[in-house]
Amino acid sequence: MAWHESTAALGTEIITLELDPKMIAASRRTFDKYRLNDRIKLIEGPAGESILNLTGQFDLVFVDANKDGYQDYVQKILNRKLLSPNGLILCDNSKPPHRTRRHPRYRGDVLTRISDDQSLLAA
Ligand SMILES: C[S@@+](CC[C@H](N)C(=O)[O-])C[C@H]1O[C@@H](n2cnc3c(N)ncnc32)[C@H](O)[C@@H]1O
């Protein structure tokens, strides 16, 4: 909803990828209730597969799903040239706070590779 609201003046197209049937149903209910379907498209299924069917270029990609998929998602986005020339990829919690670094949810080595990749840093 926040993305939709904040891009009202631009008429930005928003695509969201979701795997969990409960989240899909809740999202669809919300989109219907607040009439957000004009610019939001929800693609059901695993993000790693859905990305392969995306076309065009995106100014902003917000990655906020399973942490162990982040590297795959970022790599596929870049390989498929889905990011516009001045586009930005935001990865939520890609670098865990020190105290949670060993938590299995965070594959520190993979995430560190993403966050330490100088070619992925914004100027
Ligand atoms: C932290 S929530 C995202 C919340 C969302 N960014 C928001 O602001 O409403 C993470 C979501 O990623 C979804 N998810 C987890 N693994 C996924 C995958 N492999 N493909 C697609 N979605 C996935 C989960 O079902 C969950 O809804």
Structural domains in the chain (count): 2
Is residue 110 predicted with pLDDT exceeding 60?
no
Is residue 95 predicted with pLDDT exceeding 90?
no
> What is the span of the domain harbouring residue 80?
56-115
Q: Tell whether ligand 1 has an atom less than 6 A from the beta carbon of residue 45.
A: no
Is residue 14 predicted with pLDDT exceeding 70?
yes
**Can you list the pairs that 109-114 forms with residues at least 24 positions away whose Cβ atoms lie under 8 Å?**
110/68, 110/70, 110/71, 111/67, 111/70, 111/71, 113/71, 114/70, 114/71, 114/74
Position 97 confidence tier, pLDDT thresholds 50, 70, 90: low
- Does some domain include residue 123? no
- Does some domain include residue 50? no
Which of 62, 66, 72, 106 has most ligand 1 atoms within 8 Å of its beta carbon, as the pocket-test mutant?
66
Q: Tell whether ligand 1 has an atom less than 6 A from the beta carbon of residue 93.
A: no
- Does some domain include residue 120? no
- Does some domain include residue 26? yes
Q: What is the pTM of this model?
A: 0.86
If asked whether residues 35 and 83 sit together in one domain, one would say no
Q: Tell whether ligand 1 has an atom less than 6 A from the beta carbon of residue 18.
A: yes
What would the pLDDT profile of 67-84 be if each residue is shown by its tens digit? 889 889 999 999 999 999
The residues facing 89 across adjacent strands are 61
- Nearest-CA residue for ligand 1 atom 14 is 65
